[in-house]
Amino acid sequence: MIPAIAIVAPHPDVLRVADLPFDDLAALLARHDLRLQTVEDGLPIPGSFWGDPEAGVIGSTVYARGDTPVHSLLHEACHLIVLPPERREQVHTDATDSDIEEDATCYLQVVLADDLPGVGSERLMADMDAWGYSFRLGSTKAWFEKDAEDAQAWLIERDLLSDRKHCDLCKVGSTA
């Protein structure tokens, strides 16, 4: 079941791409064979499904500006991570129409947030709520902890997650 995402007016206090070192963001994406492409402030973001300042995807590239929310960058990256490489190259703007892939994407973005210094899953879930993600249980954290078993199982079945808090792919190529 899709976690009914609705976007409302952006909250000014969510973490933005400009708040983090570019190298940290790019390294996380590179561990998943993805490329982060920055977009100059004021220019449209290529491949953005929701429009600026939301991140965009084309092929294996995630596009973001300094004002792009970190949760958006992770969400779009996770859309690509859950796809097999042959499907990634076909993506332009809209990564999936699959409910379970959307759920898995939301789940994985929370997990990956723990691999970004200064972010973490708690902050990311708060930013998702502030931005207007809408889940049946009322918050991202409630969904993640009590209603996301199908997303977790889907990720485990595809070797993208070994348990709730450990993402095998997050550590590939990592020096940690």
In a domain, 176, yes or no: no
Q: State the Cα–Cα distance between residues 69 and 95, nearest whole angstrom.
A: 18
Dihedral Cα 21, 116, 27, 81, nearest 10 deg? -130
Q: State the Cα–Cα distance between residues 168 and 48, nearest whole angstrom.
A: 28
In a domain, 2, yes or no: no
In a domain, 81, yes or no: yes
pLDDT tens digits along 32-80: 999 999 999 999 999 999 889 999 999 999 999 999 999 999 999 999 9
- Tell me whether residue 155 is exposed, middle or buried, using C-beta atoms within 10 angstroms of its C-beta: 0 to 12, 13 to 18, 19 or more: buried
pLDDT averaged per 10 residues in sequence order, the chain, 176 residues: 45 89 97 97 93 95 97 97 90 88 95 96 95 85 95 95 54 35
What pLDDT does 13 receive? 87
What's the number of domains the chain is made of? 1
Q: State the Cα–Cα distance between residues 20 and 87, nearest whole angstrom.
A: 29
In a domain, 160, yes or no: yes
The whole domain housing 118 covers 17-171
In a domain, 7, yes or no: no
What pLDDT does 85 receive? 84
What pLDDT does 163 receive? 60
Query: Taking a C-beta distance cutoff of 8 angstroms, is the pair 75, 53 a contact?
Result: no
In a domain, 133, yes or no: yes
